[in-house]
Each structure stands twice: as C-alpha cells, then as structure tokens.
Amino acid sequence: VCFDRRFEVSAHKAIELGESTMTTTLLVSPKKSQEQLIRSGEAFEETHGVKFVPFDYRKNNGTADQGRVAKEQQLYRQDYCGCLYGLSMQRDQQHRLMDEMFSPLSRQILPASIEERLELYTRRNELEDAGTPYRILKERFYNYRLLRALVKVGSEVIPSYPLFYSTISRTTTEGKIDFEIEGQFFLNREEVRFITIDTFNTLTVLSYKNTKELMFNAPSLESEMVLRTQLTNSPFNTSAIIVVDEIPTAKITLVLETKTYDDTREKLVFSEKIILQH
C-alpha cells in the first residue's frame, strides 16, 4: 500500500508536469526490497504511461556514500521509514521502544524525541544561514518514558506529577508516609518520596496554581532535572519523586509504569572556536 500510494502520487505529478519518466527515493533505502519496488514501478508504468527508472542507488557503496555525505553536511538522518506501520515492524524486530510516537500530556520536549530533533535542526538551519560554526555530536545516555501514572488516596484518585526518571521496581506499590525531611515526605515502600506543589514552586521559582496545571504544562526538562538533583543530591538517582497538592495522610496507592533504556541523541554545539581537522 505504501509503495503503490507513493508511485501513484509520483505518476500523477509527472503527468501534471509533462514528464515521461519518474523514479523514487525509496530505492535508496537499505531496508526496502528492490524487487518489490521495481514490480510496483513497472505496474504503474503500464497503467499510467509514465516510464519508471529503477536506478540502483545502493550499488558501488551508494548506501555508505549517502551516510558519509549526510554526516559531512550535518543533514538530518533517520534509520526508519516515516510511517507508523513500518516503524512498528522495525522497532519490534529491534526489541526497542517506539518512543518516536510518545507525546506527553505535559508538553515537555523529551530526549531523543521528534520534537527535540525538529528543534535542533531548526536551530541548525539558523546557524547555517548566519555562517556560525557548529557541529552536531552524538551522545549516549539513559533515556526514560512515562507510560502511565496514578496516585490514589483511599479510593480517591488525586492529581499527581512524577518527576522525570521516577521509577519503582514494580508497576504498583502501596504504603503510608513514614517520615519527612526538609519538605520531602518518604513513603514506607520503594524509596518513593512526595513533595507539595508549594515546595515545587519554591525550589523552581515557578508559580503553578496546583498540580493539575503542572501536569498539562510542565517546565523544561532541564529545570526538572536540576530540581531532581537538588532534592536527591545525586545526578544518578531514579527514585520516584511525586508532586501533589497536599501530602496524603491515609494509605497511598502508586501506579507508575515506565521504561528506561540505553539510547543515543544528537546535540548541537556552536562556537567560533570550532577548529576543523583535515
């Protein structure tokens, strides 16, 4: 369906422009079947009268050259097809989380997300236009996605906001507040700690009216990570830190379903001091 739709649009465009031939960039992809592409192209040649040119871009190290040029020119690259179906199959084969499809309610720009890449390459284009030296670097890091979260006090679900990198060993835990240290209230299970929205506002110098507002309009991830480090005195802490309006006194049920995984991301570095080595 994907191939046929691409060829149909291309054929109609060729006819509209008065062209008699067409090809497709799908032939460049190392993950596409050349034979299937050629069959689809030839079928549309018969029905639409536009000659299909099945040029093999991959021969003579074409795929390697494509990657080399993209890297040299610092162009955007991705190793997956743009549609949901192709990406689903690829991520299943790789046993990887399909994090490209995550878009949080908090509106945060998540690490290695499509939104982060769009922001990076928009800035890259601005630097290119301004003639400012820059480099795009890759870095390895520990990524995180929140799949589901819920805090229940007794039988009532209350607004709650888990800070980034909040994890527990299982999906659900129950307990009561055991003790408090400097505005942090510790559950008697799973190293979970709670802070109020007032404490959150004080430490971040922000002014959220309540936790619900925070849930749907969170601050930048960078400021949230600064807060986590400030609360835990460690950049490596992944204990659950939950923001609520008021600290519960009754039994608490916490549902926290998350994924943590090794990942890579691109970072944009720009400086007049960048020196290219040849």
Confidence of residue 262 (pLDDT cuts 50, 70, 90): very high
| pLDDT value of residue 118 | 93
Determine the average pLDDT of the residues in 252-260.
Answer: 97
Domain shared by 116 and 193, yes or no:
no
Domain shared by 259 and 151, yes or no:
yes
Confidence of residue 273 (pLDDT cuts 50, 70, 90): low
Determine the average pLDDT of the residues in 140-145.
Answer: 96
Q: What is this structure's pTM?
A: 0.80
Domain shared by 137 and 167, yes or no:
no
83 occurs within a structural domain: no
| pLDDT value of residue 115 | 93
85 occurs within a structural domain: no
Domain shared by 23 and 128, yes or no:
no
Share of the chain above pLDDT 90, in %: 59
Instruction: Residue 226: give the domain boundaries.
Output: 143-263
First-to-last CA distance in the chain?
46
- pLDDT digit string (tens) for 40-84? 888 878 888 889 888 887 788 877 887 788 888 888 777 666 677
Domain shared by 104 and 172, yes or no:
no
Which range is least confidently modeled, 34-43, 104-113, 205-214?
34-43
| pLDDT value of residue 82 | 64
pLDDT at 33 over 80: no
78 occurs within a structural domain: no
79 occurs within a structural domain: no
CA–CA separation, 189 and 104 (whole Å): 27
Confidence of residue 274 (pLDDT cuts 50, 70, 90): low
Domain shared by 150 and 243, yes or no:
yes
Structural domains in the chain (count): 3
Last residue of a domain, one of 72, 100, 128: 72
Return the higher-pLDDT residue of 8 and 85.
8
pLDDT at 189 over 80: yes
Last residue of a domain, one of 13, 39, 72: 72
Domain shared by 61 and 112, yes or no:
no
Closest CA to 49 of 20, 29, 72: 20
97 occurs within a structural domain: yes
pLDDT at 38 over 90: no
80 occurs within a structural domain: no
Return the higher-pLDDT residue of 48 and 149.
149
Q: Which residues of 174-202 are buried (b: 16+ CB within 10 A; e: fewer)?
A: eeebeeeeebbbbbeebbbbbbbbebbee
Domain shared by 147 and 188, yes or no:
yes
95 occurs within a structural domain: yes
Alpha helices in the chain (DSSP H): 2-17, 34-48, 62-72, 84-94, 114-130, 197-204, 211-216, 221-232
Closest CA to 20 of 55, 57, 45, 54: 45
| pLDDT value of residue 58 | 77
48 occurs within a structural domain: yes
DSSP, collapsed to helix, strand or coil, labels residue 174 as strand
Domain shared by 235 and 258, yes or no:
yes
CA–CA separation, 61 and 33 (whole Å): 17
Last residue of a domain, one of 14, 41, 72: 72
Closest CA to 203 of 186, 184, 222, 227: 227
CA–CA separation, 90 and 98 (whole Å): 9
Give the H/E segment covering residue 150.
strand 134-153
Domain shared by 68 and 104, yes or no:
no
DSSP, collapsed to helix, strand or coil, labels residue 79 as coil
Closest CA to 45 of 33, 56, 37: 37
- pLDDT digit string (tens) for 77-122? 776 666 777 777 778 877 888 888 888 999 999 999 989 999 999 9
Domain shared by 154 and 42, yes or no:
no
Q: Are 25 and 63 in contact (CB under 8 A)?
A: no
